[in-house]
Structure 1
Amino acid sequence: MTLNQLEYFCAVCRYHSITRAAESLFVSQPTISTSIRNLEKEFHLRLFTHGQNRITLTNDGSLFYKKAEYILHRAHEMYTDFSDKDTNKAPLRIGITSTPSALLLPSLAMEFEEKYGIPVKLMECSSMHARELVDNDELDVAIANLDFYNLDNYDYHTVIEDTYVYCVDKNHHLAKEPSVSFETLKEEPIILFNTDSVQSHTVITGFRSEGATPHIKMYCSQLTTVLNCLSAGNCGAFLYSAMTLPENIVKIPVEPRISNQFGLLWKKGVFITDHLGKFIQYMGNYKFTSTNLRPVIAEPSVAAASAEAE
């Protein structure tokens, strides 16, 4: 039995729904269902009865719920007593990718620090490296590209989805094209983010699917370097349509359309600390405009695990 399993169980009890419990905790429905099955197997109990539109507690489930609530309350109380002292307030370690999370995270992180008084430590890295750091407990959470094959090995919450555009300087010979394809770009010098980025993998796969080989001019980790190269030369780069770019940079739609999802990603099965829970809630309650990456605050509608237990 773990505290996370008890968190999931109690959320289902409160909402009488696995779907709503999963939404409130920013985890998948299978994660909730598996945790409950494991609890029932461990204690040889049947905790719920399943009706047509509602889940209800059995007699054993009601007794188990009271005990679980008591344990969670004491666990959060203990965490608060011993972790919120100024001398022992470790920063929340957040990984951010080169784009677009590097554009939206710094300002949001500062707002989060001011609102909750929780220190934040940001680390810029590729999405792949961020996942490794999360796996090794070197990051608490990452804002990363969520389009990778083993996403279900993590808990995650999607923040924004965006499509690729091909970006060039306004004086580039392709600047007035209504759209471009991988076939038409096969001879064009392009800039990609580092080889371990999901963006690079996605773009190279797109070229190969058309039987083309990309002419890669440079691999780069910094967006500012990419933009400087676009302004100074005849190369292009694949960026995201929602990004606000300098006026001299032209965005050209890519056909066929390719998109990526970005969001919060944290280690599956870990206990959601008060700091992490507040950050998940904070980011989950933001809405992002379709024209840029500047956040628009939304009315709170869901609460993270730790916030619900308080």
Structure 2
Amino acid sequence: MKIIQLEYFCAVCRYHSITQAAQKLYVTQPAISNAIRELEKEFSVSLFSRTKNHIVLTKEGEAFYQKASVLLDNIHETTSKLYDLGKQVAPIRIGIPPLLSTVFFPDMLTGFYKKYPDTPVELFEYGSVRAANLVLEDTLDLALVNLNFYETNKLNSCQLLSDQLVFCVSRDHPLVKEKSVSIEMLKDEPLIMYNTDSVQNQALLSIFDSIKVKPHVILNASQLYTIQAFVQKNLGGAILYSSLLKNMHGIKGIPITPTITQEIGLVWQKGRYLNSSTEKFITFTKDFMQL
């Protein structure tokens, strides 16, 4: 039995799909299928019941999954502790939403590198929901997320800032002279929104839904640059964090009433050993944001 086999097996259990597990782990489906077959052959047991479109854990598979999950958690924790004992600096794996990566994070990371030049950081751009899930799966150590959407019973958190959403338009937009706008006023406005799996997108759609309005979304984009370009060309408006405006030229942010406030912060898994590098980063971040 190999650790990688357990990793693959547990991933299939989490996602209930070999296809999704392969996508999440960036490996081929045959690699995962072979790993599971090797486990079943080694222990002479069927771990999954397979049909044409579904894969379901057997009774033996469920029991094995419980033990394998605990074993992997212990392996990951032991690895982190050994890094510390051996004074090897483990990289800090941090997930960050693309919309937030241009606000305060670059300055904060620059300050961290100056103070801890020998501590490596690995950045991964994910939306808040996926980043929080990857923290729970121990794929990431930390995630910068919208705190309005995460599992409070499984994650520790520290709030870093509060930001308000504003309606961003070009200088030629019909609403540019408005002192404020309501969500109702935007029901017929062409909107450029972030990807459908982003927290901001989900929050906005929920707000529109609460007043029985379907927004006129003309584009869902994955990059802030694309959203900015469409707004600058007056092809539509976008609802974005107000802090993003300082890096946008030719765009005005109109306050939304009532105010929509979003809390931004770091999350990490409860009950999980944090190596010294990750603890340093959390402490530095709190100090940097003057918490």
For Structure 1 versus Structure 2, the TM-score category normalised by the shorter chain is 0.5 to 0.7
Cross-structure match for 1:124:
125
Cross-structure match for 2:147:
146
The root-mean-square deviation of aligned C-alpha atoms, in Å, is 1.9
Q: Which residue, 72, 82, 85 being the options, matches 1:81?
A: 85
| Kept in 2: contact 1:190–1:236 (CA 8 A) | yes
Cross-structure match for 2:62:
none
Cross-structure match for 1:276:
278
Amino acid at match of 1:113: Y
Quote how far apart the aligned CAs of 1:280 are: 0.3
Do the aligned partners of residues 265 and 237 (structure 1) sit closer, same or farther apart at CA in structure 2, a change above 3 Å counting? Answer: same
Do the aligned partners of residues 172 and 271 (structure 1) sit closer, same or farther apart at CA in structure 2, a change above 3 Å counting? Answer: same
**Secondary structure in 2 matching 1:265:** strand
Within a 5 Å distance, the mapping from 1:19-38 to structure 2 comes to: none
Distance 1:221 1:259 in 2: 22
Number of residue equivalences: 210
Distance 1:77 1:120 in 2: 18
**Secondary structure in 2 matching 1:103:** coil
| Kept in 1: contact 2:129–2:150 (CA 8 A) | no
Distance 1:181 1:285 in 2: 36
The answer to whether structure 1 residue 169 and structure 2 residue 170 are counterparts is yes
Do the aligned partners of residues 77 and 185 (structure 1) sit closer, same or farther apart at CA in structure 2, a change above 3 Å counting? Answer: closer
Amino acid at match of 2:248: P
Distance 1:135 1:80 in 2: 22
The answer to whether structure 1 residue 183 and structure 2 residue 184 are counterparts is yes
Amino acid at match of 1:112: F
Quote how far apart the aligned CAs of 1:234 are: 2.9
| Kept in 1: contact 2:93–2:124 (CA 8 A) | yes
The answer to whether structure 1 residue 95 and structure 2 residue 99 are counterparts is no
Q: Deviations over 1:53-96 (max 9, x none)?
A: xxxxxxxxxxxxxxxxxxxxxxx9975331x23xxx33111111
**Secondary structure in 2 matching 1:255:** coil
The farther-off stretch of 170-179 and 99-108 is 99-108
| Kept in 1: contact 2:136–2:154 (CA 8 A) | no
Q: Deviations over 1:99-143 (max 9, x none)?
A: 224432233223312311200111111001101211111111011
Quote how far apart the aligned CAs of 1:151 are: 2.6
Distance 1:233 1:242 in 2: 21
Distance 2:233 2:168 in 1: 13
Distance 1:137 1:182 in 2: 38
List runs of 5+ in structure 2 lacking aligned partners: 1-79
Amino acid at match of 2:237: G
Cross-structure match for 2:247:
245
Quote how far apart the aligned CAs of 1:97 are: 0.7
| Kept in 2: contact 1:101–1:144 (CA 8 A) | no
**Secondary structure in 2 matching 1:242:** helix
The answer to whether structure 1 residue 115 and structure 2 residue 119 are counterparts is no
**Secondary structure in 1 matching 2:103:** helix
Do the aligned partners of residues 247 and 77 (structure 1) sit closer, same or farther apart at CA in structure 2, a change above 3 Å counting? Answer: closer
List runs of 5+ in structure 1 lacking aligned partners: 1-75, 288-297, 302-310
Quote how far apart the aligned CAs of 1:186 are: 0.6
TM-score for both structures, normalised by structure 1: 0.64
Of all paired residues, the percent bearing the same amino acid is 37
Q: Deviations over 1:283-309 (max 9, x none)?
A: 01123xxxxxxxxxx5xx8xxxxxxxx
TM-score for both structures, normalised by structure 2: 0.68
Do the aligned partners of residues 149 and 284 (structure 1) sit closer, same or farther apart at CA in structure 2, a change above 3 Å counting? Answer: closer
